[in-house]
Amino acid sequence: MYTVTLLCNPAAPCLETALVDSLRNAWGGTEAQWLAPDVAAEFALDTLPDNQWKVWEDLQQMKVDLVIQAAQGRRKKMLLADMDSTMIQQECIDELAEVAGVGERVKDITARAMNGELDFEGALTERVALLKGLPEGMITEVLNTRISLMPGGKQLLATMKANGAYAALVSGGFTAFTAKVAAELGFDENRANTLLVADGTLTGDVARPILGREAKVNALEEITARLGISEAEVIAVGDGANDLGMLTRAGAGVALHAKPSVAAECDIRINHGDLTALLFVQGYGQDDFKG
C-alpha cells in the first residue's frame, strides 16, 4: 500500500476538496482524509501511478506539493536536519559576509556550492577567508538581528519529540549558530564547523576536520547506531548538494525548497509547504501538532 499526500503552504491555504477528490478518483484511491483543512490531505493507493511526476509538475503550477510513499513505516523515530535555508530562513555565512562588506562575493560562492557546482570544503574555506578580521561580537549581532526560524520548525520538533523521536541538527555552517538554533527549537544535539577566533576577531579559517557532505552521512550512521534504530526510521531534511548523502540514505529524504539539482535526486520534494510538511507526510494531522 502507498499513501498519497497533497499539501500546500499553511500561510496561504489553497488545497481544494475538488482537486483531492479528482486525483483520488483518477488513481482509484481510498477515501481522502484531511490532515488540515485546505492545507493537507491524504489517501491510500494499492499501486504506484505511472504518471506520478507528470501530475507532480501540474500540481506545482497550483502551488501544491505531492508526495507518494510506502504506507508502512511512515512515522519516523529520528529527525536529521540541515540548518541553513532549512531550519532557518538564511545562510549564516552569507549574513556574516553582509556585515563584513563582502556579501555579494560570498553569496555567489554559496549558491554555486549548494547547487553542487563547487567542492564544499574549498568553497567554505574560500568564503571564511573573506571574513578575516570580523569582530567576534558580530556573530551575536547577526544571530539576534538577521536570523529567523523557518515556519513550522517549532511544531515539527515539538510534535516528533512528544512522540518519542530523537532530533539532530547537522550543518556545514557554524557551531555559534547551530547551538542557538538547536536550543531554541529543542534539538537533542547539534554538529557544525567551528569558526576560529584570535584576539576577539575571526582568523579567516575554521577548525579541522571540516564538516561537509560526509559528516552528515557519518552523523546518520553514528546516531542511528547509538539509538539502536535503522536508517529507514529516519526522516532527513535539507536543501543543498552537501545534504544529498543523508537525504538519499535516510528512510525519508525531504528536499525542502531545494536547489533543482538536489530536488531531482529526492522523491519527497517540498517546494510550497513549510516544515510542518514533514509532519503531514508522516501522517500527523494538525490536531496532533505540539508547540
Write out the catalytic residue numbers: 82, 84
**Phi, psi dihedrals of residue 269, rounded to the nearest 5°:** -120, 115
- Would you state the cell numbers that stand for residue 107, as one nine-digit string? 553569496
45: β partners? 2
CA angle 114, 39, 266 (to 5 degrees): 30
DSSP 284: -
What residues form DSSP beta bridges with 33? Answer: 42
Q: Residue 141 and residue 12: Cα distance in Å, rounded?
A: 32
Distance of alpha carbon 215 from alpha carbon 206, whole angstroms: 15
Q: Are strands 78-81 and 166-174 parallel, antiparallel or unpaired?
A: parallel
Residues 149, 154, 160, 166: is their CA dihedral positive or negative? positive
β-strands 201-206, 195-198 pairing: antiparallel
- The string of DSSP letters for 152-192 reads THHHHHHHHHHTT-EEEEEEEEEHHHHHHHHHHHT-SEEEE
The backbone region for 202, taken as left when phi is positive above 0, alpha when psi lies in -120 to 50, beta otherwise, is beta
Beta-carbon contacts of residue 121 (< 8 Å; ≥ 6 apart):
210, 212
